């Protein structure tokens, strides 16, 4: 069994922001694989289904980003899922906009959602699908940047970006993180 977690913040205020791209990817996967995201447990919204031959739980924590581990830690404990079987989809300031990368473990890179997950899971060896949101031009605070909506130029790429990230998650789940890294980590930004 795998758990695919999309990081984000609940509520209409945060919809369509850079920080909620993880939620958007989980929604796309739910639609592709006909998974109903309707169970409310572990302080999250969950749905059980399959990606290929793998049983998966799709999850959108409702704890707000900085407390994502309050959802994922208990969920992983209940289902006895190791960090290596958890795929976390999150925004990444250090990747250019519209670039997607797979990764095994690592640090939090200043991302508060990852920081909290790493504290509340047995290790930081969970799998990651990093969705590039780029950094702001000029002196804008990075926290304000990720909580803002996409610029018009970026917004036209968002549908393709979400689809690419969903493709990467499917490969991580179905083929393993190393194959997904080999296939996707050399790709440039998505095109409209």
Integer Cα distance of 91 and 108 in angstroms: 12
User: What residues contact 118, with CB distance under 8 A and at least 6 apart?
Assistant: 69, 107, 108, 124
Given the residues 19, 90, 97, 111, the one annotated as active site: 19
Is residue 111 among the annotated active site residues? no
* Sheet architecture: strand order including 39-41: 39-41, 44-51, 54-61, 2-6, 86-92, 127-132, 100-104
Q: Which residues are marked as active site? A: 19
């Amino acid at each position: 069994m795998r758990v695919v977690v999309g990081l984000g913040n609940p509520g209409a205020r945060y919809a369509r922001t850079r920080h909620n791209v993880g939620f958007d990817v989980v929604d796309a996967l739910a639609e592709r694989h006909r998974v109903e995201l309707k169970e409310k447990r572990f302080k999250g919204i969950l749905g059980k289904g399959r990606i290929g031959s793998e049983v998966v739980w799709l999850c959108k924590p409702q704890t707000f980003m900085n407390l994502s581990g309050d959802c994922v830690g208990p969920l992983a404990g209940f289902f006895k899922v190791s960090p290596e079987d958890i795929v976390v989809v999150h925004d990444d300031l250090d990747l250019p906009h519209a670039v997607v990368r797979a990764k095994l473990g690592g640090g939090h890179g200043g991302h508060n959602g990852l920081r909290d997950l790493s504290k509340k899971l047995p290790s930081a060896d969970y799998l990651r699908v990093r969705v590039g949101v780029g950094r702001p031009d000029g002196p804008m605070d990075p926290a304000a940047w990720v909580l803002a909506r996409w610029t018009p130029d970026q917004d036209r790429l968002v549908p393709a970006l979400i689809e690419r990230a969903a493709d990467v998650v499917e490969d991580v789940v179905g083929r393993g993180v190393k194959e997904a890294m080999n296939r996707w980590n050399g790709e440039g930004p998505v095109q409209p």
